[in-house]
Amino acid sequence: MAGSNSVLSVVASGSSLTYQWYLAGAAISGATAATYTASDAGTYYVVVTSSDGSVTSANAVITVSSAPVITAQPTAATILTGTSQTLSVTADGLEMGYQWYKDGAAIDGATHPTYAASAAGSYTVAVTNTAGTVTSTAAVIAVSSSVTAPAINVQPVAQTVNAGASATLWVAANGVSLSYQWYRNGMAIAGATDRLYKINTTNANSAGDYKVTVTNTAGAATSTSVALKVNVISAGANTPAVVNAANAFLATLSTDQKTVATSATSSTTVLFDYALANANQWTNLPGARHGLRLNTTTLTAAQLAAANVVIAKALSATGITLLNELRAADQVLAGGMAAGGGAGTGGGGTGMPGTGTTPPDGTFTPPADGTGVPPTGTDPGAGGIGGAGSGGLTLDYGTDLYSIAFVGTPSATSPWILQIAGHHLAYNITYNTGKVSATPNFVGVEPPNWTVATDGTVTVTSNAASAGKAHAPMEKQRAAVYNLAEAIYADSSTSAAAKLTGTFTDVIMGASGNSDGNFKSLVYPTSGRGVQYSAMNAKQQSYVRTAIEAWVNTQASDVASTLLGAYLADDALANTYVGYGVGQNGVKADFSAYPNSVASPLEAQHSYIRIDGPRVWIEFVVQQGIVYGTDVHYHTIWRDKTNDYGGSF
């Protein structure tokens, strides 16, 4: 197929051929000839059909260029007689040409994005491409003989902050038409051209000597150089504690329970070889996992206590709470199934039990100090839930089906992975001396919220804020994406820029069936990523950071602070995007609280949002419930594009 000047044509051989052209997968009405004149941008192909069958052509991508859009206007200035001020314009668009004007008259030869203006007047620039022309706002240049060089009145102040906190450096100077440029260790910082320079989230890389130069056409002044110190918790500081706890747990196990597994799905041992085939054994599906079950059928009280110490050392208090609450949610599902709940995978969902058996409420205590009061995971007496054999999963629910596994040998100096996994949960934490990776990390929940009355009755249909003990395991994450999505909608330009094409019925970087078997072939998008962080307002930006923190802060503080340092660094955030897919209501991505309390909660299903940075990748999707089919449920995945499984595989 050839495409030129948007006329697409196809040559096919055969008799009694019919043609049908497609745009983005949809048949174009009336486009049934061998040629088609495309007027819209998109991916085209043609299907040629004869009595033998159909042949589909290769894709032809048509791009339609749009008129330039000015993203930075030239600025007015008062300049010293005999000097010049460089005016500049920045625009988005393809193949753009520039022409500067002074007082409405084109300036001969001024056809670049910048122009050095030395005469008084009103300057504009026209930016042109084949699709149109846009003219900038006017920048008035005034010429005066009394302009003096800037003088700095207040110098920046040296500071010490904890990693993760913000830091603001500022300067005050006398003079007209001042411009600023901040430097870190002598290097100009891109975009730091204001009187204030704020680092929203400091990390080890933020530390250094800062100075600013203040300039106008009469001269320049440079501030004193001041140090910014950042207190960083060293990465891997917590690793020896986790290794000690892991070894203590191993010491409680029988020989069989710590014999290196010969099958990637073995449920009789905690130890697996350090290989991808063992590391990728996690999924969002219900049922048992490889490794040893965290229940009293599999482990003795002493063994279970030792396992819980490992978990307590590896996660933050919020990470442990999340684990315990998700296990409790799974027990609610077990109760829902026992009470006669049907699978509600059909379009409208089937009958749903409103109540179920008591989850093991109140037995999950996060450590108060983060150093390790282990969770007291007791056996809630679910009894007959047996472990799955080798091979596939048995799709059971229950708090008993969560497991612990070590992929590799726990060590402070060589890589190994701690896995804590079960339905809707996969913590994969790779320890490699000073480097710790917390991904892939899958978190999901059904039901999103429920209450337990004093008599033990579980209610999943009402607002969790109503009477009884309320549970909402993923409230932090839900609230974070809700705030982010709402802030993006509030502004029509970000709302349009962030909208992704297509429908999302699940996360796209999740497990594939029973394991993360697609790990080696994951491809992250390079275009159509949504709205860029730098194009967001301050409120939206702060919600992006809060959302990233909602996932990362489930990890131990050394791990979380190191990862946040990387994910929230200025240059990383500058290249971070947010995209969303609308829910079934067709209007917006709806992450509002307790959708099960509204008339038609399923309108929110397919709501989707993702944060897509140079390393961080977080997706959140709203799905229909499985056990509670008239309610929604959540799936989320957090990956690190360069460092899943410690970057080993």
Partner 1 sequence: MKRLIAACSLMWAMAAGAHPSPQSEVLLESRPGGIRAELVLPLEELALALPGAAHASEAQMAAYLAAHIRPVAPDGRAWVVKIEQVRWLMSQRPADVVATMTLRPPAGAPLDRFTFANDAISHQVQSHLTVVALRSAPGEPSRVLGTLHYGQRSLQVQGADPRWWSGSTDLFRLGVQHIAEGTDHLLFLLTLLLPAALLVKDGKWAGFGGARHLLVYLLKVVTAFTLGHSVTLMLGAWGTVRLPEQPVEFAIAVSILFSAVHAWRPIFPRREGWIAFGFGLVHGLAFASAIRELQLSGARLVTGVLAFNLGIEAMQMVVILIAAPLLILLARRPSYRMVRQAAALMSAVMAIVWMSQRV
Tell me which stretch binds partner 1 (CB under 8 A): 20-28, 401-409, 450-458, 569-577.
Answer: 20-28
Q: Shortest approach of partner 1 to residue 425 CB, angstroms?
A: 16
Tell me which stretch binds partner 1 (CB under 8 A): 43-51, 108-116, 160-168, 424-432.
Answer: 43-51
Tell me which stretch binds partner 1 (CB under 8 A): 206-214, 363-371, 390-398, 570-578.
Answer: 390-398
Q: Which residue in the set 82, 351, 383, 392 belongs to the binding site for partner 1 (CB under 8 A)?
A: 392
Residues in 470-499 that interact with partner 1 by CB under 8 A: none
Q: Is 3 in the site for partner 1 (CB under 8 A)?
A: no
DSSP-based three-state secondary structure for 572: helix
- 327's enclosing H/E stretch is helix 317-338
Give the Å distances, CA to CA, from 530 to 193, 250, 472: 26, 46, 29
Q: Shortest approach of partner 1 to residue 576 CB, angstroms?
A: 19
Phi-psi region of 448 (alpha: psi -120 to 50; beta: other; left: phi over 0): alpha
Q: Which residue in the set 17, 34, 41, 47 belongs to the binding site for partner 1 (CB under 8 A)?
A: 47
Q: What is the CA radius of gyration of the chain?
A: 30
Q: Is 215 in the site for partner 1 (CB under 8 A)?
A: no
As a residue count, the chain comes to 649
Cβ neighbour number for residue 542 with a 10 Å cutoff: 15
Q: Shortest approach of partner 1 to residue 536 CB, angstroms?
A: 23
Which CB sits closer to partner 1, 492 or 501? 501
Nearest to 293 by CA among 413, 372, 379, 216: 379
DSSP-based three-state secondary structure for 177: coil
Q: Is 414 in the site for partner 1 (CB under 8 A)?
A: no
Q: Is 58 in the site for partner 1 (CB under 8 A)?
A: yes
Tokens 């497609």 — which residue? 22
Query: Nearest 5°: phi and psi at 91?
Result: -140, 150
Contact 591, 267 (CB under 8 A): no
Q: Is 395 in the site for partner 1 (CB under 8 A)?
A: yes
Give the Å distances, CA to CA, from 69 to 94, 158, 300, 474, 531: 10, 40, 67, 40, 16
Site string for partner 1, 537-576 (x = CB under 8 A): ----------------------------------------
- Counting residues that bind partner 1 (by CB under 8 A) gives 54
Which CB sits closer to partner 1, 354 or 517? 517
Q: Shortest approach of partner 1 to residue 47 CB, angstroms?
A: 5
The Cα–Cα gap between 461 and 355 comes to: 9
DSSP-based three-state secondary structure for 126: strand
Site string for partner 1, 130-159 (x = CB under 8 A): ------------------------------
Residues in 337-366 that interact with partner 1 by CB under 8 A: 343, 345-347
Residues in 239-298 that interact with partner 1 by CB under 8 A: 283, 285-286
Q: Which residue in the set 38, 393, 420, 480 belongs to the binding site for partner 1 (CB under 8 A)?
A: 393
The Cα–Cα gap between 385 and 567 comes to: 41
Q: How many CA atoms lie within 13 A of 243 on its CB side?
A: 20
Q: Is 521 in the site for partner 1 (CB under 8 A)?
A: yes
Q: Is 237 in the site for partner 1 (CB under 8 A)?
A: no
Which CB sits closer to partner 1, 58 or 538? 58
Q: Is 586 in the site for partner 1 (CB under 8 A)?
A: no
Contact 279, 645 (CB under 8 A): yes
Nearest to 580 by CA among 483, 498, 469, 496: 498
Per-residue b or e along 498-508, where b marks 16 or more CB atoms closer than 10 Å to that residue's CB:
bbbeeebebbb
Q: Is 56 in the site for partner 1 (CB under 8 A)?
A: yes
The Cα–Cα gap between 485 and 580 comes to: 8
Q: Which residue in the set 5, 11, 30, 53 belongs to the binding site for partner 1 (CB under 8 A)?
A: 53
Q: Which residue in the set 431, 450, 504, 591 belongs to the binding site for partner 1 (CB under 8 A)?
A: 504
Which CB sits closer to partner 1, 25 or 384? 25
DSSP-based three-state secondary structure for 360: coil
Q: Is 578 in the site for partner 1 (CB under 8 A)?
A: no
Contacts of 543 (CB under 8 A, 6+ apart): 480, 483, 484, 487
Looking at residue 347, its amino acid is G
- Provide the binding-site residues for partner 1, judged by CB under 8 A: 20, 22, 24-25, 27, 45, 47, 49, 52-58, 283, 285-286, 343, 345-347, 391-393, 395, 500, 502-510, 512-514, 517-518, 521-525, 581, 606, 621, 623-626, 633
